[in-house]
């Protein structure tokens, strides 16, 4: 997320935000976070530039959503890991139960929330681990604040 919005075109003396990391090709229309559109041009120049406050407001909101999603993803990965360990299973055993459609490094990245997974993966993993997907999600939602910097606070 931090790299998103790196391309910030100037329109009408305001520096706007987009979700583009790098400058798109000339002629392309890009959406500004404040709702406007901007046609990319290398020729356009502007003298004084102010921040577009509407873009900044949307950007902050997106950042908050991203941070919240990361907390839930960490809690979800931790929940998967706890469910696996409570059965005494290794990563490899889970992958084998999934018919090796998932590799051990992939599963490890899921558990550490280093990689997002699909609903399909979530359902498959819960099925082999014998836990309702809804339980895993609702626990992750409830415990999302218990995870700080990827580490879970001890139960109190």
C-beta closer to Zn ion: residue 19 or 96: 19
C-beta closer to Zn ion: residue 17 or 81: 17
Q: Considering only CA atoms, which of 135, 148, 155, 156 is closest in space to residue 71?
A: 148
Going by the DSSP 8-state scheme, the letter that residue 6 receives in this structure is: -
- In whole angstroms, the minimum distance from the beta carbon of 33 to Zn ion comes to 6
- In whole angstroms, the minimum distance from the beta carbon of 70 to Zn ion comes to 25
Q: Which residue has the tokens 């991203």?
A: 66
- DSSP, residue by residue, 86-112: HTT--HHHHHHHTTTSS-HHHHHHHHT
State the DSSP H helix or E strand holding residue 83, giving kind and residue range, or none if neither: helix 53-86
Sole binder of Zn ion in the list 5, 8, 38, 52 (CB under 5 A)? 52
39 neighbors 24 (Cβ within 8 angstroms)? no
Please report whether residue 96 would count as binding Zn ion according to CB under 5 A: no
From residue 8 to residue 47, the character string flagging contacts with Zn ion as x (rule: CB under 5 A) and all else as - is --------x---------------x-x-------------
Instruction: Name the site residues for Zn ion (rule: CB under 5 A).
Output: 16, 32, 34, 52, 55
């Amino acid at each position: 997320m931090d790299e998103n919005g790196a391309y910030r075109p100037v329109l009408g003396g305001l520096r706007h935000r987009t979700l583009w990391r790098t400058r798109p090709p000339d002629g392309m229309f890009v959406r500004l976070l404040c709702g406007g559109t901007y046609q990319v041009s290398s020729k356009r120049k502007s003298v004084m530039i102010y921040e577009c406050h509407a873009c900044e407001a949307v950007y902050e909101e997106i950042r908050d959503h991203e941070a919240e999603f990361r907390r839930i993803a960490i809690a979800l990965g931790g929940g998967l890991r706890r469910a696996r360990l409570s059965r005494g299973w290794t990563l490899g055993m889970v992958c084998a139960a999934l018919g090796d459609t998932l590799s051990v490094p992939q599963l490890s990245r899921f558990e550490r929330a280093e990689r997002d997974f699909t609903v399909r993966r979530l359902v498959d993993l819960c099925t082999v681990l014998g836990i309702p997907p809804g339980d895993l999600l609702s626990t992750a939602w409830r415990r999302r604040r218990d995870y700080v910097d990827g580490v879970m606070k001890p139960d109190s």
